[in-house]
Amino acid sequence: MTGRIDTVTGRGRLKARREPYWARIEKGAFLGFRKLPEGEGTWIARWRDPEGRQHYRALGHHPDYDVAVKAARQWFTQCEGATPKAVTVAEACRQYVEDRRGRSGELSANDAEGRFKRHVYDARIGKLELAKLKAADIEKWLRGLIRKSDKDPDAERRSKDSANRDLVPLKAALNLAFRSGLVASDAQWRMVQSFGGVAGRRERFLTLAQRKRLFAAAAPELKRLIKAIALIGARPGEIADALTGDFDAKAGTLALSGKTGRRTIPLSPDAVKFFKSCGTDKEASAPLVARDNGSAWTRFAWRDEMQVAVRVARLPDDVVLYSVRHAAISEMIVSGMDLLTVARMTGTSVTMIQKHYGHLVQDHVRTQLAAVKVL
């Protein structure tokens, strides 16, 4: 399918699609326009080097065709002086981390960066050029993350579940590279599927009695962190990153930054009272829920203190701080709070809530149905 991209009218008639509409500027040099479903389209330049390899450069938004051509020609001139360096998977991942840092904050960026450091940067897949990346390369990488153990029959399932979570940021990085014009097509990684039927339900539910034992066994500074999570169902890292200035006592709200971006949530009267007790007289840049020495929590610090508290409380070894979050989400659902509100409160999606806590929803529905008398 062809279409004119040199006029505003022509571009307006184009259908939205992933593949850009191309116009030849000169031999081996092309200007492309990618029509988006919503908003402005984006321009992309394509240049073929003497060896026949294609190179791409995202040009961003330009309202005028001639301006886009000028930007493309400037890049073509640079290309003729020195062949552009091919972008690798690892470089695309690094760009994604910086994009996350700017859009979603440190927590999201650090999570992705940690996964890339463990499984991409120094691996074979990280050294592959984006333009040469095949679905088979990604599938081989994904299979390489699987771990089996004769002593632990569930090890393979857990490792596949973990591999699926590692695949998510990799695909996100590749998609960003595609949108940025660093590669012409996203067809290869779109064909790669995650492992099916391996996500374990979050079984470790702490009963009220267990939660009270954990709280009683925790050190004073850990008590504050546990209570904060229990009151709002946030991730431990979101509470650790929250600043005093993020808490609005008058409005009864708290702004949090997490994996899904920044959100502002309403607080219950108990939560408002608790966060006030954490010290609203502190500097706005100080940690809201701080350690006894005033410093912010780190995952290593809360991990170590939780292990001690779990042993003292005589709870199962797999109880972690996230178990408190799971308990909070579960209690919200059981109390009858609608799933959309739960998802917004806790920084996740309705789909994820249904996936991990759907059994609780069904139980709650059964209880409600039992109270319905029709005849």
Query: Does one domain contain both 356 and 302?
Result: yes
Extract the residue ranges of the chain whose pLDDT is less than 50.
1, 201-202
Task: Give the number of other Cβ atoms within 10 Å of residue 354's Cβ.
Answer: 13
Contact present, 191 and 135 (Cβ < 8 Å) = yes
Range of the domain at 259: 208-370
Residue 246: DSSP 8-state? G
- CATH number, residue 228: 1.10.443.10
Query: Which of 247, 122, 246, 96 shows the shortest CA–CA distance to 182?
Result: 96
> Residues 257-278: pLDDT tens digits?
887 788 999 999 999 999 999 9
Specify whether 261 is located in the same domain as 359. Answer: yes
Residues 265 and 236 in one domain: yes
Q: Angle, nearest 10°, between helix axes 106-119 and 89-103?
A: 160
The answer to whether position 203 is within a domain reads no
Q: Tell me, yes or no, whether 219 and 362 share the same domain.
A: yes
Predicted confidence at residue 365, as pLDDT, reads 63
Phi and psi at 242, nearest 5°, equal: -65, 135
Say if 195 falls within a structural domain: no
Q: In CATH, what number is assigned to the domain containing residue 38?
A: 3.30.160
pLDDT in the model for residue 375: 61
Q: What pLDDT shows up at residue 233? A: 94
CA distance 267 to 252: 5
H-helix or E-strand containing 255? strand 253-258
Cα 182 to Cα 58: distance, rounded to the nearest angstrom: 7
Q: According to the model, what pLDDT value does residue 185 have?
A: 82
Give pLDDT, residue 204: 62
Number of domains present in the structure of the chain? 3
Query: Alpha helix (H) ranges present in the chain?
Result: 8-13, 65-81, 89-103, 106-119, 124-127, 135-143, 155-179, 187-190, 208-217, 220-232, 236-241, 269-277, 299-312, 321-334, 339-346, 350-370
Whether residues 29 and 177 share a domain: the answer is: no
Same-domain check for residues 106 and 215: no
Q: Do residues 71 and 105 share a domain?
A: no
Pairwise CA distance, residues 339 & 128, whole Å: 42
